[in-house]
Amino acid sequence: MNNMLTLALSKGRIFDETMPLLKAAGIEVLEDPEKSRKLILPTNHANVRVVLVRASDVPTYVQYGGADLGVTGLDTLIEHGTDGLYQPLDLQIAKCRMSVAVRSDFDYAAMVKQGARLKVATKYTTIARDFFATKGVHVDLVKLYGSMELAPLTGLADAIVDLVSTGNTLKANHLVEVERIMDISSRLVVNQAALKMKQADIRRIIDAFSAALPAAK
């Protein structure tokens, strides 16, 4: 068992977009997570397995060695912190952006200019706190775990900090994106102890993933 390599992934876009990279490394997952209830998925390599965890739990699994490596959004990684995690690669998958959005009838620029105190609802409190601190904007943060779009519509907050991809969710809720905080993509994270103990196997995966990425400009 101690030569087993465990990769933590979350179901959905991260799983789906990691599959081509695994394939490039010669690894095929033998079960479809959308059809199976299993949380541990075998691969065509007896010593490589995939564990399915919540997206926000991937850094935790890798940090504490429940998995040797994992794929996680930069958003999740920043919120979790990078202690004990080696981050060799930007995989350039599950791309989106972290943005500030408000109701279309809310004059964000004027409020910021006036030095008003903004009430901001978000799941990403670290990113939001750092962003507004750098701008010198005073904020009261309201922590939410989902459906952030609802907050400005119900008067819970003036603004939200959330991930935006197509912008359709904002549009459907009459919200407008007023600032882009950062571009987001998913990262490969590796447990630092595993990197030493299982160096050759982990190196092989990093190199294969790296070779399969669009060439760096």
Interface residue with ligand PRT, options 7, 9, 14, 141 (CB under 6 A):
14
Mask for 37-56, x = binds ligand PRT (CB under 6 A): -----------------xxx
Instruction: Give, as ranges, the residues between 110 and 139 that touch ligand PRT (CB under 6 A).
Output: none
Handedness of CA 86, 89, 90, 91 (dihedral sign): negative
Q: Return the number of other C-beta atoms located less than 10 Å from residue 69's C-beta.
A: 27
What's the min distance (Å) between Cβ of 13 and ligand PRT? 5
Interface residue with ligand PRT, options 50, 94, 141, 151 (CB under 6 A):
94
* 166 lines the binding site for ligand PRT (CB under 6 A): yes
Cα–chain-centroid distance for residue 122? 15
Going through the chain in order, the beta strands assigned E by DSSP cover 5-9, 40-42, 48-52, 69-73, 85-90, 96-103, 118-122, 139-143, 159-164, 175-184, 186-191
What's the min distance (Å) between Cβ of 179 and ligand PRT? 15
* 213 lines the binding site for ligand PRT (CB under 6 A): no
Nearest partner of 118 among 129, 126, 127, judged by Cα: 129
CA distance 202 to 71: 14
The residue of the chain with the least Cβ separation from ligand PRT equals 73
In the complex, the residues that contact ligand PRT under the rule CB under 6 A are 10, 12-14, 54-56, 73, 75-76, 94, 96, 162-169, 184, 186
